[in-house]
Amino acid sequence: MTAAAPPTEATPARQQAAWEETFRYAGKHSRFYREHFARAGISPADKIPLADIARIPPVDKSVVCQQPDEFLCVPREKIVDIVTTSGTTGQPLLWQLTDSDLERLGYNEQLSFATAGFTAADTVLLAVAMDRCFIAGMAYFLGLRKLACGIVRAGPAAPALHLDMIRRVRPTAVVSVPSFLHHVAEKARETGFDLAAAGIRKAVCIGEPVRENDFSLNRAGQLIETHWGAKVFSTYGVTELAASLCECPAGQGGHLHPGLLYLEALDEAGQPVPDGQAGELTATTLGVEAMPLIRYRSGDFAAIHRAPCACGRTTLRIGPIVGRKNQKLKLKGTTVFPSALKTILDTTPEVSTYAIIARRENDLADTIEIKISCSGDAAKISAALRERFRGEIKVAPHITPATAAEIEELQLPPGARKRRYFADLRH
């Protein structure tokens, strides 16, 4: 990667112009924003520099979930694609896109994959759903197509098909959630297939963290690099923003495309947090036709970094997602995400498996119990762990030794589709 900035990178002047257009457009066509601006004493004729965007109060995801049609700026005949969020958190959200929004979605992914170094010479195994009302698979397809990559739409469900296509097509890259990549690697091992030598050099990972806050690879990221012989790139996307931030080869956080999105990180009171500290990612979409969003609190927490990247880009980057709003734990006056607890447990070699259990003590405080199965003296290991928690996150949760079978039951309760390390019993 050379130091030259890509030609598509928007200048601050272009970003400001795109914002002014979004503000004018939403104020005119979105019932919600018309009333929202009026309530905040803002006239559609106002000139608001991006630096003063905080004059407009942020909007919570729950507001959009309850009344998505209030955000719709176009008549029904302009809509070409209707998707829904996966509903892993709260109420699934219905989202609509026009032809121009699909074009913007593809352009965004074109920029994201180009950031990760994809070119027309790449053949990409797309292990992401194209259907079931998800936006991601289609977005990736549109972006890769714009880059003229070869695309193998294998989907997210059949490791045997993936291995077969890897043998026959020799793709150079894969796009997937990390847990599925582990699954395919396991299948390869079982069948004696040398995945690391198969020629896949880039693995774009979505939906699950592959890095620690200092940008080093976490255990999941390291395993992917080892088993796939591929460089890991983390990408972050949100359906409602129809945008993604993907890492460059320097692996220092996902790069923002400033012509398509304006991003802030806010604390609970709606104030910006200092760069490098995790805050709620709050986004303003630029150039969206059907459902533009202004200061939308995504519910995802991550740190923003503004120092120029080693790749030469000067665009804002985001660090790993440290957690979601509804996972936030209130412990003895501090706020902690389960991911911080998980990082400590994952890097304690004596702990073979664990489950984190959250309970509500009262409105202001939660309690945490961690059940661990370990090799060696359980009392000693628990005491050492408590010390690590106290040192690294300032609180020491209850730690209870348990059998691997008891923990398995907590991780995979009846009806669970996915193994969970965090059991939230607060609701």
Which residues of the shown chain bind Zn ion in the complex (CB under 5 A)? Answer: 248, 250, 309, 311, 313
Nearer to Zn ion, 250 or 378 (CB): 250
d(CA 365, CA 362): 5
Query: Shortest distance, CB of residue 110 to Zn ion, whole angstroms?
Result: 17
Nearer to Zn ion, 78 or 305 (CB): 305
Say which amino acid occupies 124. Answer: V
Which tokens go with 121?
């010479």
Query: Shortest distance, CB of residue 61 to Zn ion, whole angstroms?
Result: 29
Say which amino acid occupies 182. Answer: H
* Length of the chain in terms of residues written: 427
Nearer to Zn ion, 251 or 338 (CB): 251
Query: Shortest distance, CB of residue 358 to Zn ion, whole angstroms?
Result: 36
| DSSP single-letter state for residue 11 | P
Query: Shortest distance, CB of residue 313 to Zn ion, whole angstroms?
Result: 5
Nearer to Zn ion, 137 or 221 (CB): 221
Query: Shortest distance, CB of residue 252 to Zn ion, whole angstroms?
Result: 6
Nearer to Zn ion, 278 or 311 (CB): 311
Query: Shortest distance, CB of residue 296 to Zn ion, whole angstroms?
Result: 25
How, if at all, do strands 317-318 and 296-305 pair? antiparallel
Do 393 and 322 form a contact (C-beta atoms < 8 A)? no
Q: Taking Cα atoms as reference points, which of 191, 181, 189 lies closest to residue 154?
A: 181
Nearer to Zn ion, 309 or 355 (CB): 309
By three-state DSSP, how is residue 50 classified?
Answer: helix
Radius of gyration, CA atoms only, the chain: 22
d(CA 427, CA 424): 7
d(CA 229, CA 197): 7
